[in-house]
Structure 1
Amino acid sequence: MMISRKLVYVASLSLGLSLLASTAMAKVEMNAMCFMKQSESTAHAFNPTKEEIADSSILKKNPTNVTDADVDAKFRIASLSKVITTDWAIAKLGPEYRFKTKIYVTPGTKAGNCNLHIEGDMDPYMGREMLTRIFTQLKPKLTAQSCKYIETFSYDQYFPVYLDAMKHQTNHDLGWEDPARYFNSTKTKNDLAAFLKVKSGLKGDFSNIGVVTKDRYQEYLKGVPSKVYSVKSRPLFMIAKDMNKYSYNYPPNVLFEKLGGAEAYKKFAADRLKLDGEDVEMYNGSGYPAMIDGKKMYNLVSCSALVHIMQDLDKTLEAYKGTRKFQMADVMAVGGPGESYSTFKGLYAGGTYDNTMVAKTGSADKAITFGGMLSTADGDMYFAVLTSPETYGGADTTKARVIIRELVQTLAERQKLKKFEYKQIGDMNATDDQSTLVEEPKQTPAGSLK
């Protein structure tokens, strides 16, 4: 399947030409573009041929000279970081992993009172919808135990709460904001307190809720009877798909910390991917700049490392043994008219690659990036494009995206593309049948709540 340049021009690149005309003075630096086939272990620099340049007014005005050294050099990658986080999470947890949240009920000091404690699993979508599901199911269970009043309420350090965790699907800009505004202990406490007081349906003293660490709470449980309930999140592959197609900053930062943070990723990259500090420098999971000691720190990754990471993700998904088969389309945005929304579709003519490309966009200060996988008759091909506009937003950003679209189109035209089988599934809902509250087996001393 060859892509018609005429078709793509009609769909998107004619728009690119008009945009480029209005950005003639815009400044964009090409940092690197590379590709690697599924069967290969070395990334290749990509530059259009003389014939390809002659066939494109965009390439004529914006020549590239990507070298092997450029392919191996680190640059800001912006939201391509989310693909790295996806690879790490899938490798460590598996695509069908579900985050399990436990709710402990212990006796209060007075008859009719009880205490609640939540043990988290760093569920990155613990928001209004899941909390509503939990407490709607919990209330009748407390009534059955003659608990009418919550005496104390606590939670551990692995229970981040962001009430608007699903709002990015209708307010895209919200998902692109600084995730540190929502992923912090103060936000968790304030959102949880607000929910408990107004929406939980429970009566109790919620004025002094706070953290009790997991170790400390487990020690406390040795001396008291308890009942334990649990709920599970949506599966990881759906979470990855949602955060990648919307380029949602909050969930990948939560995932990154669940997996161990920056130091743990260094070890993972070295042990599994044979990548070191010259290849990858990760500070968080989203690619939004991290503030460290008052300084903005950006994830820096080489083009070569990126395509190797995408290759690893592809192979991990294909090798997974579970209830079903998986592919990159299950965790990243897919080209084709069926995709309800994705930044890929919105920015890079994703609709013209009908089940032949999965991709991720990246946008940040001094970084407009794009990367993914092309499905070809010779197997999957991984690619990445890293550019640096002089300013973020406006003409420089527009020009960078126009150039990237044309370069990726040129790479695609060299291939015989092959459709993969994939049915668009629409947006992820916050809960499903595994969000049902179930009682855990007893793990406490003799005695029980009545």
Structure 2
Amino acid sequence: MKRVVITGMGVIAPNGNNIAEFWDNVINGRSAARDITRFNPEHFKTRFASQISNYNPVADLDRNDIKRGDLYSQYALIAAKQAIEDSGFDISTMSPFDVGVIFGSAQGGFETFEQQVVEYAGTGHHPHFNPFFIPKTLINMASGLISIKYGFMGVNFTTVTACASANTAMMDAMNYIRWGKAKIIVTGGSDAPVTEASIGGYNALKALSTRNDDPTKASRPFDIDRDGFVMGEGAGVLVLEEYEHAKARGAHIYAEVAGAAMTSDAYHITATHPEGLGAIQAMKSALEDAGLNKEDIGFLNAHATSTPVGDQSEAKGIHAVYGDSKKLFVSASKSITGHLLGAAGAIEAIIAVKSITESAIPPTINTTTIDPNIPAGLQIAIGDAVEVEVNAAMSNTFGFGGHNGVVVMKKV
């Protein structure tokens, strides 16, 4: 079976518009949550989110990219540009059919859809829709635009598994390369859900924190006072490449994508299985796929969104797999970044890779009193980063509909 490695990474996120800035803020535990400025949130239960700062698309995108792409597609293109440049592969020296794009998104062009429908209603239902309305809203369009912009003619599709979308995209990308169907695949995820309809909808589900008095302290995974997640936005992109191909061209290799797995909870449309049964099997299967033992994993980046039910069931699942291991550190990076929905798995895979290359695990911030329902044996990195050698890392993502996606990275 062919080996798959990571040769490029890119990110645009609330904590940073490039890898260096992003990692510096994450490892130092700087929250990205702040009052919403994209619209007036006065009448919403939640009036804050993790928004991207200093967004300037003209620095990275041409006029057509901006005109044809919803904000989520623009984020995807910017992160893809960084990752492709970082990888340094030259498409002109390859068959274009050897390079593909497999991308994830939970909501796609949500902002465009909301804006166009509101304008339609506001004009007395006169159908003056933008000619790009349909393509901008399609969930597969970020993948399509990356392919079009760079001339990648290989496999191209989008995975939609809610907040597990990026992990399922990476799993598919890994497997296509393993099967010899591609030499390189650009993968990851993107979402732009800081909109009125999205915030209002998640408020109706009672999924978001309402800690409006102090947004930076709102996301507190595993804490007894957690009250919901903080909405985030952005994109993460990784260039996955067949190992021998990467080695032959002298590419810098960050880490190996060693294994991945998916399961379903088959339980509830929004809630995770209370005993974490689907998550348990996904973690076990990912370890098996990677050919690793549980003792090999030094860092587990938990999905841990700071919701009362979700954190508890995941913690039970992690404990069922790893027990009271003192070799494993668990951390919840969403306490810092917010929850980027379909992009979450991508930026968290980047965090896992950086933990391997930098020998450091980011902290879980804001957590002061662990919920007594969280298994006491879990070694959660709270408050400060942990400096420790990480030979392999696991990243969990779970999505509405019962989707569980787990990816394992290791040193090469």
TM-score range for the pair, normalised by the shorter chain length: under 0.3
Scaled by the length of structure 1, the TM-score of the pair is 0.24
Max radius of gyration: which structure? 1
Q: Greater RCO between the two (CA within 8 Å, min separation 6)?
A: 1
